[in-house]
Amino acid sequence: MNHEDTAEKLAALYSTEFGGKPSGRFRIPEKLLREMMGRRRLYESDITALSRALLERGHVLIDMDSFYVVMSANSFVNYRRVGKDLV
């Protein structure tokens, strides 16, 4: 699977019921992601391309070293903002 196909599959998983939840964020092991993409190794360029393709679909990919997290980009909209006076 190329990064576009993988992004499509990951975006679909976001709205699929599994793990006791009807939908939402999830984690995926690096090994499974490598298998999905048909790669022995994931390079920075692979992750960048996949991240961009997921972002186009409204999701973000977070690298947690041994696994990746897929979340909705809208999850970050209501986060607190740092103002210049705090920095």
Cα torsion for 56, 14, 62, 82, to the nearest 10°? 80
3-74 CATH? 3.30.1370
76 CB contacts (<8 Å, ≥6 apart)? Answer: 60
Residue 76 has a pLDDT of 87
For the cut 90, the answer to whether the pLDDT of residue 72 exceeds it is yes
Percent of the chain at pLDDT > 90 equals 85
Structure-token match 């019921």, residue found: 17
CA dist., res. 55 & res. 80, Å (int): 21
Domain ranges, ordered by start, for the chain? 3-74
Phi, psi (rounded to 5 degrees) for 66? -100, -10
- Its pTM stands at 0.87
Per-residue pLDDT of 8-60, as tens digits, reads: 999 999 999 999 999 999 999 999 999 999 999 999 999 999 999 999 999 99
